[in-house]
Amino acid sequence: MLYPINEIFHSLQGEGFYSGVPAIFIRFQGCSVGCQWCDTKYTWKQLSNKMGLLKDILLKSKVSNIWSYLDCMTVLSTIVQKEWNANHIVITGGEPSMHDLRPLTIFLEKNGFYCQLETSGTYAINCSEKTWVTVSPKLDLKSDNKTLMKSLIRSDEIKYLVNSELDIEILDKLLLNINDDKKRIISLQPISCNSIATNICIKNCLARNWKLSIQIHRYLNIR
């Protein structure tokens, strides 16, 4: 199976439950969700005239909409050649759940890696059972996409963007609709590192024993 990939790189996971963990990021090209606060808009369109080779996505010095079709073996051989030490792989986007991720996640697991999927949950999630699934619910979309209940149920972590107290009320209603006993992580992430939103997140994390996700890569000025 071929996957449209925007970039593969090595850094620290900056968000959510695995914040601070060394990770290899596989960023997919293509997303139809249209989130208001998206910071990877260059991944939205999979333009045929921007399709390049593996070297074109590995040699990027800045973000761009250049992408390449890669198969599982090429992803693995790239990681091996780079001699990156991390065994945590973050599959992100774009919206990777637009694709069947079972071949990729199962293949990477067989080769000793642990996969984490970051997704809006607006598409059915097809990945290995062991994959850690982080769903960022999208509740204010102008498009017809909505976060699916079955995606929330599959999630190990719900990472929720917060701009105001109203967002917390909306999240509470969403969580009430999830009828299972799974002990999933709830991570609150202030939008754009905004100080008012950060204080709202801190207050609610302390009150509810939730996790604060502060996008440490932005504070550290790393990728």
Q: Which x/- pattern over 49-88 shows residues binding ligand SF4 (rule: CB under 6 A)?
A: ----------------------------------------
Closest CA to 213 of 177, 160, 135, 143: 160
Closest CA to 135 of 204, 148, 144, 11: 148
The dihedrals phi and psi of 192, each to the nearest 5 degrees, come to 55, 30
Query: What is the DSSP code (8-state) at residue 29?
Result: P
Contact 88, 24 (CB under 8 A): yes
Tell me which of 7, 15, 95, 157 binds ligand SF4, using CB under 6 A.
95
33 lies in the site for ligand SF4, by CB under 6 A: yes
189 lies in the site for ligand SF4, by CB under 6 A: no
Cα separation of 185 and 195, whole Å? 23
Tell me which of 43, 155, 187, 198 binds ligand SF4, using CB under 6 A.
43
Tell me which of 5, 35, 57, 70 binds ligand SF4, using CB under 6 A.
35
Cα separation of 88 and 117, whole Å? 11
Q: In terms of residues, how long is the chain? A: 223
**Amino acid sitting at position 20:** G
Q: Which region among 9-17, 26-34, 104-112, 207-215 touches ligand SF4 (by CB under 6 A)?
A: 26-34
Q: Is position 32 annotated in a ligand binding site?
A: no
Q: Is position 115 annotated in a ligand binding site?
A: no
Q: Is position 193 annotated in a ligand binding site?
A: no
Tell me which of 14, 93, 121, 137 binds ligand SF4, using CB under 6 A.
93
**From the CB of residue 48, how many other CB atoms can be counted at a distance below 10 Å?**
6
121 lies in the site for ligand SF4, by CB under 6 A: no
Q: Which region among 17-25, 29-37, 126-134, 210-218 touches ligand SF4 (by CB under 6 A)?
A: 29-37
**From the CB of residue 30, how many other CB atoms can be counted at a distance below 10 Å?**
20
14 lies in the site for ligand SF4, by CB under 6 A: no
Nearer to ligand SF4, 23 or 35 (CB): 35
Q: How many angstroms separate the Cα of 154 from the Cα of each of 104, 133, 208, 212?
A: 18, 7, 22, 21
Nearer to ligand SF4, 4 or 107 (CB): 4
Known binding-site residues for S-adenosyl-L-methionine equal 37-39, 94, 136-138
- Chain positions contacting ligand SF4, by CB under 6 A: 31, 33-35, 38, 40, 43, 93-95, 120
